[in-house]
Structure 1
Amino acid sequence: MHIQPTSLPDVLLIEPQLYDDERGHFFESFHQRHFQELTGVSAFFVQDNHSRSMHGVLRGLHYQLSRPQGKLVRVVSGEVFDVAVDLRRGRPSFGRWIGVVLSARNRRQLWIPPGFAHGFAVTSGAAEVLYKTTDYRVAEQERCLCWNDPALAIAWPLPGAPVLSERDRSAPLLTEAELD
């Protein structure tokens, strides 16, 4: 496993070691002890989520208030542009974002610690995203940010307007968002 720091403190890009031969390939998508040793993160995951979305769908930017979730995100089919936005007030990186391409082909994973909003846009025909979380989904704690907030200026690689849920369509700007 290779760990690559990103421009946002604590957000890490993870590349698993691939074992490839004439039969196909094998890799460990998660190994608790190796993850902790290499990242310094002692996350305990309590929930796995799996979503399937079509080209042009944008999910996010989602977060939870008093029960923030750390997320380990990977793509098992297709490709997405995955985004994390730092919502940790008082940090120099507050309001900054990072975006990376995650795909079934590159097998990269993104570690997003608690205190960040998360979202992704599907750039392939369809994509299946798996992510582990460090806390359970609590519907009444869920919030979202406006995907195209001019203050964030996220460079979503989409040719036109994304396909959004009603909740994501009506999400507030960062300056109006409810934060802990």
Structure 2
Amino acid sequence: MKSIENPRYSRCFAVVMCLSVMSTLPVAAVSRPSPRDGKPHAKPDPVFVKVVVDLRSRTRLAVVLPSRLPDLGQGRTKLYASLSEATPRGYEIVLGFTPDCSGGTACRIGTIGARMVAAPQVQLEGKAVTLGNGTAGWFAPATCGASCSDSLVTWRDGETERFVGIKAADEKAVIALADAVASGARVR
């Protein structure tokens, strides 16, 4: 039987003991701040994985997506993100019930987007609202005819106008999505 007095085994024993003690200590979540905004890096909700690569290569805007997508009224039904439009000056993502939803009313539940605006711009239309991070935004309710449009929340982020929409949703639901985006992950 080998003794722990042997220097080779003593070092091994010390490492094992140190690791076992360290595993009982609380672990602090450490994230590096983003060099641009000082906020910790976060990853967007997995629903956006496929559109992030295209967005990075097709727009100059900072792309901000929710780290966790709130319930938009879909319950347990899986949602998909499709890139509807991407230019150097803006983008629009369709949230839908099918992987290939291109904005048709039957499959689409909402949108997330942004576009460059010249500063200063005129006041945005709608009811003034305040997002969870203190940002001023504007809520515009849906209009319904043969089908319903999105209820929208729009806000400014420097020279970028960001917007989210949920088909025929109430103010509370759209603000929840806007909050998720405004405090979300900057992927560019």
TM-score range, shorter chain: under 0.3
**Greater Rg by CA:** 2
Q: Which has the higher contact order (CA 8 A, sep 6+)?
A: 1
After TM superposition, the score normalised by the length of structure 1 is 0.26
The structure richer in strand per residue is: 1
